[in-house]
Amino acid sequence: MLLQHAIEAVPAQVFLMATTDKILLKNHAATTALAAKEDVLRQELKRASMRGSAGQVSVRRMALSGGIALAWVIRAEPRFDFRSCSMRAGRRWGLTARQRAVLEHLLEGQSNKQIATGLKCAENTVEVHVSAVLRKSGARTRSQVVSRALALVLQ
């Protein structure tokens, strides 16, 4: 019950999935989205749970003590404002303007190559900026950066 209340506070579609692609838990936004386009959304969730985070979908895998594998899948609505999220996190973490721009692309789930194309710079430059964002945010992974940035928005 407490977990259900927690995921209802997330301004995105949240799914807790088993490795069998069965949806174990979902919030109201996810329920509404499934009702509107169940087949398409189920295919997108299945792809995301296999491939990992990409685009508007963030995936976090975890294993319970009994070896049960689960995946949290968060699907951001297109209206989510990644720019204001990156600005807020950028101010908190002391990011440069370029690092904030990279963070915005990270929030969108883009790869280093996609970020480099979008910012018209070398992929190596993006790697340097991503490393700086990780360091300044105190995160060890791209997923942690996204999670921490979103948590700042939800405060």
pLDDT in tens, 82-131: 888 999 999 999 999 999 999 999 998 899 999 999 999 999 999 999 99
4 burial via Cβ count (<10 Å: 0-12, 13-18, 19+): exposed
Torsion of the alpha carbons at 78, 145, 118 and 14, rounded to the nearest 10: -20
Same domain, 35 and 61: yes
Question: At which of 49, 75, 101 does a domain end?
Answer: 75
Question: At which of 44, 75, 106 does a domain end?
Answer: 75
CATH for 60: 3.30.450.20
Host H or E run for residue 38:
helix 28-51
Same domain, 88 and 63: no
Q: How far is CA 95 from CA 19, 38, 140, in A?
A: 37, 39, 16
pLDDT for residue 30 is more than 70: yes
| Nearest-angstrom CA–CA distance, 42 and 22 | 10
Same domain, 70 and 86: no
Q: How many domains is the chain partitioned into structurally?
A: 2
Which range of residues forms the domain containing residue 121? 82-154
pLDDT at position 79: 58
pLDDT for residue 22 is more than 60: yes
Same domain, 92 and 145: yes
